[in-house]
Amino acid sequence: MTKIECILRPGKLEEVKDALGKFGINGMTVTQVIGCGLQKGRTEVYRGAEYSINLLPKVKVEIVIRDQDVNQVVNLIAQAARTGEIGDGKIFVYPVADAIRIRTGEKGESAI
């Protein structure tokens, strides 16, 4: 199993959620977050020293999926989330050791 964590523009959440729903993703966790990337949260980079960091609102979407679905899911998220402008976000991919459905005690892929 693999966890996909993506940081998206809030305005792209619906599109990404719809794409994941169409693919057949069952579970997801969505969190409102703030963050910055290369531009340190600035929409314009000025000449001269600028050391302060500005944190912009983003949404974090976490899903745990089967390893065989990773490439397709990463591609569909990237496609749905992209505008081509700075700040489109990022996708992080992590290995998952196990998952347990608390109600039934199912484990592994049966639990996701």
Ligand X SMILES: Nc1ncnc2c1ncn2[C@@H]1O[C@H](COP(=O)(O)OP(=O)(O)OP(=O)(O)O)[C@@H](O)[C@H]1O
Interface residues toward ligand X, by CB under 6 A: 7, 35-39, 56, 58, 86-90
Which residue in 39, 56, 60, 69 binds Mg ion (CB under 5 A)?
Answer: 39
Does 34 engage in binding with Mg ion (CB under 5 A)? Answer: no
Cβ at position 76, least distance to Mg ion in Å: 22
Task: Return the one option of ligand X, Mg ion, none that residue 89 interacts with (CB less than 5 to 8 A, by type).
Answer: ligand X
**Residue 12 phi/psi, 5° resolution?**
-100, 0
Q: With respect to ligand X, which residue has the nearer C-beta, 87 or 108? A: 87
Q: State the amino acid at position 63 in one-letter form.
A: I
CB of 9 to ligand X, least distance (A): 8
Shortest Å distance, C-beta 29 to Mg ion: 23
Angle at 63 between CA 5 and CA 95, to 5 degrees: 70
CA 9, 14, 18, 21 dihedral sign is positive
Which of residues 45 and 96 has its CB atom nearest to Mg ion in the complex?
Answer: 45
Q: Give, to the nearest 10 degrees, the angle between helix 13-23 and helix 70-81.
A: 150
Q: How many CB atoms lie within 10 A of CB 29?
A: 11
Amino acid code (one letter) for 104: T
Question: Which stretches of the chain bind Mg ion, using CB under 5 A?
Answer: 37-39, 86-87
